[in-house]
Amino acid sequence: MRRITLKAGAVLVLAGIGLVSNAMAAGANCSLWGGSLLKWPAANPVWEMCWVPPSQSVAADGSGMELRDVHYKGILVAKRMHAPILFAEYRNTSTCYRDWKDADARFVASPPVRNQLGVPTPFIATTSCDVSQAATASYGSCPFSGAPGFNFVAADCIGSPGGVAIEDMGDHVVLTTQYSAAWYQYTSRYAFWDNGDIQPEFGFGNSNGTNNSLTHWHHNYWRFDFDIDGANDNAILANGVPQSTEFTGLRSATGGPGGGPTYWDVITNKGGFGYRIVSGSGDYNPPNQSGRGLHSVDVIGSLFINNEYADHSDNNLSDCVMAAGNIANSQNISNSDVVFWYRASVRDANGNDWPPSCSGAGCEAQNSMVCKHVGPTITRIGDWPIFRNSFE
């Protein structure tokens, strides 16, 4: 799977798209949707969208960095892309949290990319997760004092009251931000490629080491409100099979890579084109690995319902069960306005209590503070119309 490429000092190198801006039939309308407008590349843009930082995101307790009215080459792709559901779950304890996603946290970004499209100099946007490479060490909040291989100063921190770094990497653009829930600092990134592919990425960081001695999981649920070429007449396919009603599912028969690949398509029935969602190599943490029964599904396909951003209309910190049945409850989704939900989790392990039968040599070493990034690749499929409004 292609991962987000982050290179300091990247320059714009794009070719073969000179006519695209003349062909655009539509674009992001931030005066309607709210947020700040991003057009990339700056000349002859192929992507347009509105972005908002976590503190301005929708849903009970927020939804992290939020992208609205996303267009590729003048064609509507999504009404909204965000992550409104997030959990921290612990083993061998009754502790669990439904974390909030609306508290902006400071991270490192050079001035040319702060809340604007720019070229990263002299370093790329860096979050708490990015600097965490040691099993038990924590480096605090930005500027992450003492992190090996990094030399940041306080003036390089971006954050409160909210900030996003937007970096032009040549063949793709990367949006990065960070938000916090107490000692946890969560990374949110999206990469948009010139060929139309999309790559959301989530990272889980810890600012002070709290609970790093307990094996625990972080469960992140993205909500992709695809509107391929318009809100209506969309469909979701699981392994190529159209789904007629709302559903839940697993990545594979075994909940892991040994069960073979699983993929989901969201397409417009008007032209048969759309996007394929394929799991990332780090996403295969199976549901219910803790044995607590709090998380049982990897994906959900649902009918769009206005203001339905989670399994509850409001959330308590102790609402630890992901109630997927509140979202997928057998409504018809054929030729409809559909929403695709995707879970990716990481396990922060302590060698003393994981795996459950671990004892002596061969036990998994503690890695609870090591940065872990997860997320799917979303790939353009089908015969997308490149030109609109008779421009050729």
Counting Cα atoms < 13 Å in the Cβ hemisphere of 236 gives 29
11: confidence class by pLDDT, cuts 50, 70, 90:
very low
Q: What share of the chain is helix, strand, coil (3-state, %, to 5)?
A: 5, 35, 60
On whether residue 203 sits in a domain, the answer given is yes
Terminal-to-terminal C-alpha distance of the chain: 33
Tokens for 219, please give them. 């469960």
On whether residue 319 sits in a domain, the answer given is yes
Tokens for 321, please give them. 């069960």
225: confidence class by pLDDT, cuts 50, 70, 90:
very high
CA 32, 36, 38, 42 torsion-angle sign: positive
User: What phi and psi values does residue 21 have, to the nearest 5 degrees?
Assistant: -65, -30
On whether residue 326 sits in a domain, the answer given is yes
On whether residue 17 sits in a domain, the answer given is no
Mean pLDDT of the region 124-153:
88
Residue range(s) defining the domain that contains residue 325: 83-381
Please give the share of the chain, as a percent, with pLDDT higher than 70: 87
Is the bond leading into 161 cis (omega within 30 degrees of zero)? yes
Model pLDDT, residue 19 = 30
Model pLDDT, residue 339 = 98
- 3-class secondary structure per residue, 109-146: CCHHHECCEECCCCCCCECHHHHCCCCCCCCCCCCCCC
Number of neighbouring beta carbons within 10 Å of residue 291: 9
Tell which residue, 346, 268, 333, 266, has the closest CA to residue 305: 333
Model pLDDT, residue 254 = 62
How long is the chain?
A: 392
On whether residue 137 sits in a domain, the answer given is yes
On whether residue 41 sits in a domain, the answer given is no
- In this predicted structure, the answer to whether residue 160 has a pLDDT above a threshold of 70 is no
- In this predicted structure, the answer to whether residue 315 has a pLDDT above a threshold of 90 is no
Model pLDDT, residue 153 = 77
- In this predicted structure, the answer to whether residue 89 has a pLDDT above a threshold of 70 is yes
314: confidence class by pLDDT, cuts 50, 70, 90:
confident
- In this predicted structure, the answer to whether residue 364 has a pLDDT above a threshold of 80 is no
On whether residue 230 sits in a domain, the answer given is yes
Model pLDDT, residue 255 = 58
Mean pLDDT of the region 315-331:
93
Least confident piece of the model among 74-88, 150-164, 169-183, 212-226: 150-164
Model pLDDT, residue 78 = 98
Tell which residue, 205, 219, 180, has the closest CA to residue 61: 180
Model pLDDT, residue 258 = 54
Mean pLDDT of the region 38-48:
95
Number of domains in the chain: 1
Model pLDDT, residue 5 = 46
Mean pLDDT of the region 234-240:
94
Cα 222 to the chain's mean position, in Å?
A: 6
Mean pLDDT of the region 219-245:
95
Model pLDDT, residue 331 = 96
103: confidence class by pLDDT, cuts 50, 70, 90:
very high
- In this predicted structure, the answer to whether residue 41 has a pLDDT above a threshold of 80 is yes
DSSP secondary structure code for residue 244 in this structure:
-
Could you give the 3-state DSSP secondary structure of residue 13?
A: coil
On whether residue 193 sits in a domain, the answer given is yes
Each residue of 265-285: b (16+ CB within 10 Å) or e? bbbbbeeebbbbbebbebbbb
Could you give the 3-state DSSP secondary structure of residue 379?
A: strand
Report pLDDT digits (tens) over 115-138: 999 988 788 999 999 999 888 888
362: confidence class by pLDDT, cuts 50, 70, 90:
low
Q: What is each CA distance from 146 to 121, 137, 150, in whole angstroms?
A: 21, 10, 8
* pLDDT, greater one: 76 or 155: 76
